[in-house]
Amino acid sequence: MIIERIDLYHISQQLVSPFVTSFGREDERQCLLIAVHGAGLTGWGECVATSWPGYSYETTGTAWHILSDFLIPAILDSEFQEPEEIIDRFSFVRGHPLAKAALDQAAWDITAKRDGLSVAAKLAGPYEEGPRQRVKVGVSIGIQPTIDQTLEIIRRHRDQGYGRIKLKIRPGHDIELARQVRLAFPELMFMLDGNSAYRLSDSAIFKAMDEFNLLMLEQPLDYEDIYDHSQLRQVIKTPLCLDESIHSADHARYALAIGACDVINIKPARVSGWTEAREVHDICRQLQVPVWCGGMLETGIGRAGQLALASLPGFTFPGDISATDRYYLEDISRPSFTLNAEDSTITVPNRPGLGVEVDHNRLSAVTLRAEIFTV
Ligand code: OSB
Ligand code: MG
């Protein structure tokens, strides 16, 4: 197939409630959306970079630059058959996984539509078992002004049917929070995410958490680190999960080789897209390391992609994939995603491609900047 035209959008949508982490606060979520057109079809992708370099060095601004000046010219007006070819096409650009992933996702969407398959079914091609039809999910709750408010929000989500809760922590807002959550909810499946706000010298904080029966502890140490995490892992009982430091399948291999973690949070964007994300999944599966699908407050486009990925066999822990109404009052795509409260799952789209339609009126209402690239 030949890509004849690519549309790039920079959008901003108000979040239902502010999202506060150890690296910053978001009230409105900016991101880029991309539409690739060819063979009478359109494929969509989302670039989950934020407006400031808090989670990653990439921002909506750097991603716009890398996409428009390098990545889009590398695939516009050129022939490709399968989405797995895209990552090699981009090997001349070092880094910038979030920008690359947007086009990789669009390539999965458009080729799955061509094949009459859902992205989930296309991704599941290599496995004997097909994709799961429903994916276990949980919520990721940002830092709240008080512990009481956190307990209240946990209660609300648990009552809605979410079976796994993740809480953001930062220095000074950690042990006491975990203690009170465990006291208030003795059976709750809950975990913590430090987003790289701690150092190895803070190990005592995490040792003290051994008694709280946490599902896991996510990325407490530096965003580039795997070595200190391997050291921390030896002195705590809680399973350790990496997010930020796993940039690629190779990084997953290195981390597992040195015993840096027990679990990996796979965000397709962080590893340059769905092809590489599946590779990380395969490496982990081979070593019997469980994985789950992380989130970046995606729009419906990104969320559809998360669900497709999380339907693969190695995704055994609940993902950070919540219902649309947790993030946005309206969204740029339909249908919106809802929780199946009886088993804390979301149903994986099974229509061709990602299985969502973009609402163009809504898209134009939230667009800050748009550009069309043609040959
Ligand atoms: O560390 O997992 C993270 C959101 C933005 C950036 C980083 C993270 C997150 C989340 C939210 O935890 C997950 C979601 O609900 O999309
Ligand atoms: Mg995380």
Give residue-wise pLDDT tens across range 241-278.
Answer: 999 999 999 999 999 999 999 999 999 999 999 999 99
* Annotated active-site residue in 113, 122, 136, 168: 168
Task: Name which residue sits closest to atom 9 of ligand 1, judged by CA.
Answer: 296
Q: Which of 59, 195, 320 to mutate to test the pocket of ligand 1 (most atoms within 8 A of CB)?
A: 320
The mean pLDDT value for 40-45 works out to 98
Instruction: Please name which ligand lies nearest the alpha carbon of 320.
Output: 1
Q: Are 341 and 310 in contact (CB under 8 A)?
A: no
What does the radius of gyration of the chain's CA atoms come to, in whole angstroms?
Answer: 20
Q: What percent of the chain has pLDDT over 70?
A: 100
Pocket test for ligand 1, best of 16, 20, 21, 165 (most atoms within 8 A of CB): 21
CA–CA distance from 71 to each of 84, 89, 236, 373 (Å)?
15, 8, 43, 12
Q: What local confidence, expressed as pLDDT, does residue 10 receive? A: 98
Residue with CA nearest ligand 1 atom 8: 296
- Its pTM stands at 0.97
* 192, 174 contact by CB (below 8 A): yes
Task: Give the position, in ligand 1's atom list, of the atom nearest the Cα of 267.
Answer: 2
Q: Do residues 83 and 108 lie in contact, with contact meaning Cβ atoms separated by under 8 Å?
A: yes
3-state SS, residue 295: coil
**What confidence tier does 356 reach under pLDDT thresholds 50, 70, 90?**
very high
DSSP string, 137-190: B-EEEPPPSSHHHHHHHHHHHHHHT---EEEE-BTTBSHHHHHHHHHH-TT--E
Task: Give helix 97-115 / helix 300-310 axis angle, nearest 10°.
Answer: 70
Q: What is the pLDDT of residues 272-316, one digit of tens each?
A: 999 999 999 999 999 999 999 999 999 999 999 999 999 999 999
From the CA of 221, how far away is ligand 2's center (Å)?
A: 11
Residue nearest to atom 7 of ligand 1 (CA): 296
Strands 190-193 and 165-168: parallel
Where residue 69 falls among pLDDT bands split at 50, 70, 90? Answer: very high
In this prediction, residue 324 has a pLDDT band, given cuts at 50, 70 and 90, of very high
pLDDT value for 136: 98
Instruction: Supply the pLDDT for residue 296.
Output: 98
What is the position in ligand 1's atom list of the atom closest to the CA of 54? 6
122 has catalytic annotation: no
Q: What is the DSSP letter of 23?
A: T
What's the chain's average pLDDT?
Answer: 97
Q: Tell the residue nearest (CA) to atom 12 of ligand 1.
A: 140
Q: Among this protein's residues, is 237 annotated catalytic?
A: no
Active-site residue, selected from the candidate residues 100, 113, 166, 267: 267
Report yes or no: 104 and 84 within 8 Å, Cβ to Cβ: no
Which of 137, 140, 198 has most ligand 1 atoms within 8 Å of CB, for mutation? Answer: 140
Rounded Cα gap, residues 49 and 54, in angstroms: 9
DSSP 65-130: HHIIIIIHHHHTT-B-SSGGGHHHHTTTS-S-HHHHHHHHHHHHHHHHHHHT-BHHHHHTTTSSS-
The answer to whether the Cα torsion of 60, 63, 67, 70 is positive or negative is positive
Q: Residue of the nearest CA to atom 13 in ligand 1?
A: 295
Average pLDDT over residues 220-239: 98
Task: Calculate how far, in angstroms, residue 116's C-alpha sits from the geometric centre of ligand 2.
Answer: 34
Q: Token pair for residue 84? A: 């797995």
Query: Could you read off the pLDDT of 187-228 as tens digits, one per residue?
Result: 999 999 999 999 999 999 999 999 999 999 999 999 999 999
User: Looking at residue 340, what is its pLDDT?
Assistant: 98
CA–CA separation, 111 and 133 (whole Å):
21
- Report the pocket of ligand 1 as residue ranges, CB < 6 Å: 55, 140, 193, 195, 243, 294-297, 320, 322
